[in-house]
């Protein structure tokens, strides 16, 4: 909701990224402080804030049931065009060309996402990785767009996220191939070199005037962690660029589920559990939006429950992709896995 700057209170949380001359003044999700108030008094007459209860993560309330009919499955043609575009982008030597190619790929993904009014994405259907960095860029760009949309981004704000998602690892072109494609775990020294890729990416993008500084910062900060333990700047909390916070969630998930020469990909279930364990690394609102975006078990899928029963997925529980509504094949009993009586039950996934 929009409020006059003069009516802002310290309990309000800002619901938009506020720029002054392309520089971010206040990021979405920031709680109003006296310092922020004084800045906003100067630059803005009114500002969008979350309604009192809108910013809270709902826990223990009635869970929304939803069908997954509108789940996004990117067509093979789109995937191929996007992947080819990113492959081309990684070969460009001119910064303007890199940015314009990334813009085209991002627009392609945005058209797919916005045009279909997609609300959920089946990530297993989305993920198709062989040439890691190219496909990773497309996957992260797509997931970042979906998360951002869930957070209420639209128009130019959404475009910035898509662009940064496609570009986030462009600095890897400066990392030696022997490190980038090493079929084993990196040594400490190699990892130090690898950790320079966000800085290289930023330096490459500084050469183009066609990209905003805020998007460049998203690329620079995509490995920052919410608790300040990331790199290269060791920023923490709201100091981290909002696009980078979105990219961090999409990037880590994609890295976990992707098979690499030196590691097997985790199942989506295990990847999510591991991310819950790393919750200090992420902005919780973005993790929540991510959980609201994904479907792990589409309606109609057969799964095995930890009590040994074979079940069919009947419906999703929004925000709880590991806990859909199931119906037993033999007894026809319905298990709503978010129901307190079912909390001891989990879906058993095959060993990876």
Minimum distance from residue 55 beta carbon to Fe ion (Å)? 29
Closer by beta carbon to Fe ion, 215 or else 337: 215
Minimum distance from residue 180 beta carbon to Fe ion (Å)? 11
Residue 169 makes contact with Fe ion by CB under 5 A: yes
Closer by beta carbon to Fe ion, 142 or else 316: 142
How many chain residues interact with Fe ion (CB under 5 A)?
A: 1
Q: Where are the alpha helices (DSSP H) in 92-176?
A: 95-115, 123-126, 132-150, 155-167
Choose the binding region for Fe ion from 45-53, 169-177, 254-262, 292-300 (rule: CB under 5 A): 169-177
Q: Which residues are within 8 A (CB) of 295 and not within 5 positions of it... i.e. 6 or more apart?
A: 68, 71, 120, 121, 122, 123, 316, 321
Residue 260: count other Cβ atoms within 10 Å of its Cβ: 14
Closer by beta carbon to Fe ion, 159 or else 169: 169
Closer by beta carbon to Fe ion, 19 or else 90: 90
Choose the binding region for Fe ion from 40-48, 162-170, 178-186, 205-213 (rule: CB under 5 A): 162-170
Residue 224 makes contact with Fe ion by CB under 5 A: no
Choose the binding region for Fe ion from 27-35, 168-176, 228-236, 254-262 (rule: CB under 5 A): 168-176
Closer by beta carbon to Fe ion, 222 or else 323: 222
Choose the binding region for Fe ion from 91-99, 161-169, 266-274, 283-291 (rule: CB under 5 A): 161-169
DSSP 100-112: HHHHHHHHHHHHH
Minimum distance from residue 222 beta carbon to Fe ion (Å)? 6
**Closest among 105, 101, 99 to 74, alpha carbons compared:** 105
| Distance from C-alpha of 192 to C-alpha of 294, rounded to nearest angstrom | 33
Residue pair 76/351 in contact (Cβ under 8 Å)? The answer is no
| Distance from C-alpha of 11 to C-alpha of 55, rounded to nearest angstrom | 11
3-class DSSP state of 69:
coil
Q: Which residue is nearest to Fe ion (CB)?
A: 169
Minimum distance from residue 223 beta carbon to Fe ion (Å)? 6
Closer by beta carbon to Fe ion, 137 or else 288: 137
Residue 283 makes contact with Fe ion by CB under 5 A: no
Closer by beta carbon to Fe ion, 244 or else 289: 244
Choose the binding region for Fe ion from 14-22, 120-128, 150-158, 166-174 (rule: CB under 5 A): 166-174
Residue 42 phi, psi dihedral angles, 5° rounding: -75, -45
* Range list of β-strands (E), the chain: 2-4, 18-20, 23-26, 46-48, 65-66, 121-122, 294-295, 302-305, 310-317, 325-328, 334-336, 347-348
Residue 202 phi, psi dihedral angles, 5° rounding: -60, -45
Give contact residues for Fe ion (rule: CB under 5 A).
Answer: 169
């Amino acid at each position: 909701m929009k409020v006059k700057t003069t009516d802002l209170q310290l309990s309000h949380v800002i619901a938009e990224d506020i720029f002054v001359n392309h520089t971010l003044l206040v990021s979405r999700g920031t709680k109003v402080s006296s310092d922020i108030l004084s800045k906003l008094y100067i630059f803005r007459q009114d500002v969008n804030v979350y309604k009192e209860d809108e910013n809270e993560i709902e826990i223990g309330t009635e869970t929304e049931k939803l069908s997954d009919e509108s789940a996004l499955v990117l067509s093979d043609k789109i995937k191929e065009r996007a992947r080819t575009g990113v492959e081309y982008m990684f070969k460009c030597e001119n910064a303007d060309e890199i940015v314009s190619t990334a813009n085209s790929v991002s627009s392609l993904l945005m058209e797919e996402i916005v045009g279909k009014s997609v609300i959920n994405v089946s990530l297993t259907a989305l993920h198709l990785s062989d040439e890691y960095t190219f496909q990773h860029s497309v996957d992260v760009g797509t997931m970042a767009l979906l998360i951002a949309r869930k957070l209420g981004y639209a128009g130019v704000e959404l475009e910035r996220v898509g662009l940064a998602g496609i570009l986030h690892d462009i600095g890897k072109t400066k990392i030696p191939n022997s490190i980038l494609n090493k079929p084993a775990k990196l040594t400490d020294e190699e990892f130090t070199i690898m950790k320079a890729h966000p800085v290289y990416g930023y330096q490459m993008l500084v050469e183009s005037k066609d990209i905003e500084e805020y998007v460049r910062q998203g690329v620079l900060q995509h490995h920052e962690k919410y608790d300040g333990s990331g790199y290269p700047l060791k920023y923490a909390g709201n100091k981290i660029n909002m696009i980078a916070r979105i990219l961090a969630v999409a990037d880590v998930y994609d890295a976990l589920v992707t098979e690499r020469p030196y590691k097997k990909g985790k199942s989506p279930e295990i990847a999510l559990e591991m991310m819950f364990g790393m919750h200090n690394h992420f902005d919780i609102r973005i993790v929540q939006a991510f959980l609201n975006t994904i479907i792990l078990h589409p309606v109609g899928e057969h799964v095995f429950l930890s009590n040994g029963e074979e079940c069919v997925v009947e419906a999703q529980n929004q925000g709880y992709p590991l806990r859909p509504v199931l119906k037993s094949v033999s007894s026809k009993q319905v298990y709503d896995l978010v129901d307190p009586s079912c909390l001891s039950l989990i879906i058993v996934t095959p060993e990876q």
